[in-house]
Structure 1
Amino acid sequence: MRIIGKLALGVAALALVAGVGAKVFQRQLGEMALARIASERVGRDVTAGLPDGLHVIICGSGSPLPDPTRAGPCTIVIAGNHIYAIDAGEGGTRKLNQLGLPIGRIEGLFLTHFHSDHIDGLGPLMLLRWSGRSNTSPLPIHGPPGVERIVAGFNAAYAQDNGYRTAHHGTKIMPPSGAGGTALPFAIAGLPVVVLNADGVRITAFPVDHAPVQPAVGYRFDYKGRSVVISGDTAVSPSLVRAARGTDLLVHEALQPRLVKILTEALARTGQANTAQITRDILDYHASPEQAADAAKAAGAGALVLNHIVPPLPLAFAYPAFLGDAAKHFSGPITIGEDGMMIDLPAGSTSITTRKLL
């Protein structure tokens, strides 16, 4: 017992010394820790060494409802050497920085619709894309009719800041011609339309049902025999199933009505009648995990990833409750999207692998 007691006293003494040392040298230790983090993360390029093919990065899997683990809707598609963004939700650009994606290389942004949560991160995306490589032309922003007003508004809002950036850093780093975005609208009238077809990459927009929001579209990316479909926000849409026919991967929004009902009841019980009504209304123009699974099955998709998660889902323990009976509707792999998730679809293969980068 005496030996045990002495050991305990020794351990306590060491802990006290360590604690005092950490306090005395906290500044130096903090600098060392930050230097190590900087050496490991600064200059990281998540695209380096990727095999040729399609790669999808979820940079924002959330919705307008606050979730500490999820940024607003944001997806990256890498096709060979080309990088494209789909939607620009709040916080998505910060996640791209964390991941080490070279934002300056983004060749275009494709907006699915103009709900605020899909565009409220556009300012930071335009800014960091401009500064990332001293781009001399604005970010191309594709979207259905109305995208012109969105881009014009953000350009106007950021005009003064753009001037400050150039004045502070110089025209070599921040050339004025590269600031902001350029709107590239495309007509969408009930049928899919090819928005881009170059260097082996074909991007097709198709209409979805997100009424009363109109227009609203999803996108299909085809490259070297692999394909990815991004639904955007949508209720059940036969047009999506047709556009997704035979796709390797369907990334589909999902709202679980049973869990939203729990949130609605809590809001109503605490006197938040307005927000409670909003959570009732959103049931009309979103798809459940089971309905997303039905779409994946009908389209013959190889795998399904759910994003734009509603309600907030910060705990993986609750994932089965969110999925509900989705696995009974689709026999392929079903994954709940998380920020920092990457899905790889190498060319010349049928494989689909998922990994977490954060």
Structure 2
Amino acid sequence: MKKWIALGICALLVGVAVLVFVFQRPLGERAFASAAAERAGGPGLQFGEGLHLALCGTGSPLPDPERAGPCNLVVAGDRAYVVDIGEGGARNLNLMGFDLASLDGLLLTHFHSDHIDGIGPLALLYWTQGTKAAPLPVHGAQGVETVVEGFNMAYSLDHSYRVAHHGENIVPSSGGGLTALPFEIGAEPVVVLDEGGLTVTAFPVDHDPVRPSVGYRFDYKGRSVVISGDSARTDMVERMAKGADILVHDALQPKLVRHLTDALEDNGDENVATITRDILDYHASPEDAAASAEAAGARMLVLSHLVPPLPSAFLHPAFLGDAPDRFGGEIVVGEDGMVFTLSPASEAIERQSAL
């Protein structure tokens, strides 16, 4: 009896497999159409009143399949800004369901390639998804004009093709590309935006020999987020993060990077080994970032621009080192898709994942 039952189950499974094979194409088309309708008709990433931080990229120039390049989205009421846009950042924003056409601008901390190499896709999606009649505003310290001019030149032919193909009603020729909005930064902070109750303050950081290099503080309805950009530990970050709800700080663990350098040297790759040795002096360690957060009295420390890549959360304690002993608040090892919400009606920091 058991034998016949087993044979019957096998026959049924074979029959199902044959049916799936025969009807795979129409079934696949129907499944795709259903998924497309759900995604296109979904509400996307929604933000209520308050200050919000979304991590659209927490990686570095070192390849990491789980992380896009540096990218942060800050939303305050009806204002939305991306801070830095590394490779893959625009893709993540799309996957998170954020309406890129609703952006008010891009702010750059500095002009290292990994902080700007996602500009092309971001500007393209901003333009094409929103039928924009004016280019994407790009805020940055002195020198941002050169970056913007270069991207506009590189994408000029692409823009002409898209206008010719889709027409002015869909992609107005006046809307492609970028507009540079430079500000001068010296030794002291400067307010670069003050609108709709949101104040954005740029401040100089220590990323020598990269100059200018800045961080940003966002203040909105009593809540605040500070983004260090790339920086070694500096008093200015601690000064600007005073009382902040969240300090987002770049973090490099020297012990792990030295292991990476040793492996490169053993493999005879002296060029890359030299680079991994050089990067030790212009990024903060997790311990440094924790000490800064403690000195500033920040409530939460979010580590981003992680060096080296971390393929598993199992490595987080090794990456953090002694950081938990140096900061009394919560430390979060940033991951792409994390969203933090700071309501003006409370002191809570809510967290979710949009990826």
Pair 1:184–1:12, CA change in 2 (3 A): same
Of the three residues 27, 30, 35, the one matched with 2:28 is 30
**CA contact under 8 A between 1:224 and 1:348: conserved in structure 2?**
no
- Residue range with higher mean Cα deviation, 33-42 or 173-182: 33-42
2:110 corresponds to: 113
2:341 corresponds to: 344
Q: How many residues align?
A: 355
Q: In the alignment, does 2:35 pair up with 1:13?
A: no
Of the three residues 91, 95, 110, the one matched with 1:94 is 91
2:101 corresponds to: 104
1:357 corresponds to: 354
2:111 alignment partner, SS class: coil
2:220 corresponds to: 223
2:63 corresponds to: 66
Aligned AA (1:31): E
Of the three residues 266, 289, 293, the one matched with 1:269 is 266
**CA contact under 8 A between 1:45 and 1:101: conserved in structure 2?**
no
**CA contact under 8 A between 1:45 and 1:102: conserved in structure 2?**
no
Give, in angstroms, the shift of residue 266 of structure 1.
Answer: 1.3
Q: In the alignment, does 2:246 pair up with 1:241?
A: no
Q: In the alignment, does 2:302 pair up with 1:332?
A: no
- Quick one: distance in 1 between partners of 2:43 and 2:154? 31
1:80 corresponds to: 77
2:316 corresponds to: 319
Of the three residues 38, 41, 53, the one matched with 2:39 is 41
2:193 corresponds to: 196
- Quick one: distance in 2 between partners of 1:283 and 1:112? 19
Of the three residues 209, 213, 218, the one matched with 2:210 is 213
1:164 corresponds to: 161
- Quick one: distance in 2 between partners of 1:46 and 1:294? 37
- Quick one: distance in 1 between partners of 2:44 and 2:217? 23
1:21 alignment partner, SS class: helix
Write out per-residue CA displacement over residues 51-110 of structure 1, whole angstroms, 9 at most, x where no aligned residue: 210111111110000000000111100101111000010111011111110001110100
Pair 1:347–1:25, CA change in 2 (3 A): same
Of the three residues 136, 144, 151, the one matched with 2:133 is 136
2:54 corresponds to: 57
**CA contact under 8 A between 2:203 and 2:215: conserved in structure 1?**
yes
Task: Give unmatched runs, 5+ long, in structure 1.
Answer: none
TM-score, normalised to structure 1, is: 0.96
Pair 1:29–1:150, CA change in 2 (3 A): same
Pair 1:290–1:46, CA change in 2 (3 A): farther
TM-score, normalised to structure 2, is: 0.97
Write out per-residue CA displacement over residues 320-357 of structure 1, whole angstroms, 9 at most, x where no aligned residue: 11111111011111111111110111112101011111
Write out per-residue CA displacement over residues 99-157 of structure 1, whole angstroms, 9 at most, x where no aligned residue: 11000111010000000000001011111101121111111100011100000000000
Question: What is the root-mean-square deviation of aligned Cα atoms in Å?
Answer: 1.2
1:87 alignment partner, SS class: strand
**CA contact under 8 A between 2:45 and 2:354: conserved in structure 1?**
no
Pair 1:224–1:266, CA change in 2 (3 A): same
Pair 1:264–1:171, CA change in 2 (3 A): same
